[in-house]
Chains A and B, each alone.
Chain A
């Protein structure tokens, strides 16, 4: 009896070894051995993508060495319906795939290259080694697609500068967890590390250091390409009119001068919404952003605007009167946001409906979701996933327990939730501690956003699979911290 249980247990460990859990997964105990010398990835004859497809050629190479870490050269068959190897993933990208592993051959079918990438990731997680180091994969059928189209992760490079390699490493780990949006909160009050081609003074004067703490244009391109290769969109955030202290250093007259009584106090508040030069500047900057970042979205922020400085400034008060805003500074803020997003829409020829609202206020997020979707807005949830807030113990369970569509509203309203994102704000985070703080804690949200909620509600059942996945992350060189007492076969080798 004991032996039977043990056998069963072993089986379970191998059957459930994919994170995030695929929508449908059938596995049998029949296993096939994989020979690193003989295994290879090939394009199917009827595949639209063939050799020369940059995204997949690179992915084959990457996944081969992930699966067989000791070998550098490499039968899988891959069939992709449509081409699009040189494009960028977007909101409508079809990430579904079917994977069928049988004797001697595995077939991965997907509509797009992005789906193929997701399938390759699952495939790589199915392969395991026995005690003698031989590679095996069980007979498996997977039908898989994401629950939500937008599965994001936010990094903040303004409060602390993150070196390029830290960002690239994060993109790697994101692909392993099937995240598909990198929300790059690139500038903010403390520093402006984005090196603008139109306004070089923004980083020359606003970055922590004009050479060592900036992202050059080629750095940004590298991030975008690294992300593209992994099916990840890069959405930059240029937050205004608040959160712009660092902008003011390189762009005189952009910020509102605060007053103390009748005289300027020497400090500055949010962007000055009363002068035309502001909007000219924003237009040029956003034009550049559109040119540099291929994604059709940019995050315009608009959060936490403090009105005290506007209130103190006589010009702003005169403007308020002229516009008939009375004392309601939220009207001034809306005026600014409207003009800025009109600028944006002019640039992109976009319509009102394309705005996506991100919900970040913690305690009442269900109510907010209900309210926003009722008004017909599409929403993204990040409120419960501010994982920069650390606490003792297994706090991934809190992230895992979130149910994004669990709010009062109609079916139609629930469809307006297009996804969510994990946020790692940078007050207490830099290159020294970013990775262990992100992984595997972010994996909890990754599964919630990808997998079927019905099948993944029990955190205790998820625990052994996540534990295994974190060891896999370690093996792949991601500095993922432990979930609890225990060990991995390959411990982290760095410092």
Chain B
């Protein structure tokens, strides 16, 4: 009996949404068991016994034994958020649901076990995100060492709830023990090629939490514009942003992003890429960039940061001092990619400096010279840093805890082998440049990537701490960012969270169809995977 109650709604939903093409679900009920969970938990056990959840009676509460109390705002906020996700708008009257069912689940107890629940802290690379969830009569219990694991468990709990044909919420008897495969699961957004309004960034942090991403890599400034409003150097955004008032992130905007992310267990890692990618910096800071020469006279254009002037390093010292206080995360991304040497080569002062330093004509030595000094400046602020792979490739001396981001798709395996062979931790983004769109279900390509598929020892593989899905902004702004990112990035989310053995694309398709409808229901315009429909279609526009 319970079995019928339980399977009917899930089966219906799937059969209708893609039934005309993939109608053959008979005999696949085992799959349906776990159909709407995304990303798939590490250990999962569910029985056919279903409990009803009444919106008037069900509560999410702090467990008595929990080290987090009612003052733990991060959890209190999350309780409210997930209650709304589960029950939606509670404006409709609840006549039919007053009856108390035998199997009514009355509460979810959230039990934080370690002495410090980290209610006011920030998530970090070392954060333990594991949790255990047990759904049984009359209470469900979610157990985690700290608030971050509890947040992940709340998301899973909300995904277990499904509506039957009468609109009643059900949840099956379930036991889950879950933890992420990789510690760094990131999304890169680029807010300089096109300015992204705050609202778009916040909505995508919401979507990230729904997919258990935990790093927002904010590529905040670059050649085209400088929307970050600096307290120390306000002229950077005054002159370098697309517009000094409408196209900037004020200090309070930045604070809001960081806090919004913290509430969802997401780290914010800003990227200030130098010495290349800095055209927009030059409009606000005089003499920061190298004047390019045409023959023996300045051509009027500017190249990368001028590495031979002390003023450049003075500026960087002050600037990164500010950044290290504004952004609480232990890491800053320093870029260091795609440095164009032609301007340096044209400049007679630089040529002279090269001779003095004995660099010959090898400008990558000059680049390393700059980066080395910059790294020392940043290290003095007590921050760790992330860099793009070129910095490693050029042989710059890096601190032990540096994270090297591998982004070039050719020779990716070799690069991973080299970086980890040298003992550095690394994250992978090369196969996940989501800005490259194509027709059809390209999420499958992202899904099939195996990050540890490179020659190396076990110790080397352990140095791969995660990956990032990147959505660069050449062709993306507020109009199309969210549907372009979701649910394609969800494929990466599962790859980075779930066990290595979770690779069945058909199974993933069925779950992802449900998951994208859930995101749509929660107000995220996630685009369709294929023909079909959601019970609640996207309402905005």
Q: What residues of chain A have their CB less than 8 Å away from a CB belonging to chain B? A: 159-161, 163, 165-166, 169, 189-191, 208-209, 212-213, 245-246, 388-394, 426-433, 435-437, 474, 479-487, 489, 491-495
Contacts and interface: CB of A to CB of B under 8 A. Distances in A.
A431 B530 contact: no
Nearest to A436: B480
Contacts of A392: 435-438, 475
Contact of A482 (B476, B482, B538, B540): B476
B525 interface: yes
Contacts of A427: 530-531
Contacts of B194: 482, 485-487
Contacts of A426: 531
Interface residues of B, number: 50
B532 interface: yes
Interface stretch (B131-139, B167-175, B196-204): B196-204
19 contacts: A161-B537, A163-B537, A166-B541, A190-B532, A209-B533, A432-B525, A432-B526, A432-B538, A433-B525, A435-B479, A474-B479, A481-B479, A482-B475, A489-B243, A491-B246, A491-B247, A491-B477, A491-B478, A494-B540
Contact of A160 (B16, B437, B438, B531): B531
A494 B196 CA distance: 11
B439 interface: yes
A482 B541 contact: no
B477 A159 contact: no
Contact of A491 (B197, B520, B541): B197
Contacts of A212: 535, 537
B479 A492 contact: yes
Interface of B: 16-17, 20, 193-195, 197, 199-200, 203, 224-225, 242-243, 246-247, 435-440, 473-480, 482-484, 520, 523, 525-533, 535, 537-541
B475 A484 contact: yes
A486 B475 CA distance: 9
A479 to B, nearest CB: 5
A163 B534 CA distance: 12
Q: Which 10 A-B pairs have the closest CB atoms?
A: A436-B480, A433-B483, A432-B525, A208-B533, A487-B242, A433-B527, A481-B480, A159-B531, A492-B478, A485-B193
B16 A495 contact: no
A486 B438 CA distance: 23
A435 B193 CA distance: 21
A67 B194 CA distance: 26
Contacts of A485: 193-194, 224, 473-474
A68 to B, nearest CB: 20
B375 to A, nearest CB: 29
B527 A428 contact: yes
Contacts of A430: 527-528, 533, 537-538
B532 A160 contact: yes
Given A160-B533, A190-B532, A393 B475 contact: yes
Contacts of A484: 474-475
A491 B531 contact: no
Nearest to B519: A432
Nearest to A189: B20
Contacts of A245: 20
A438 B332 CA distance: 38
Contact of B438 (A169, A209, A390, A479): A390
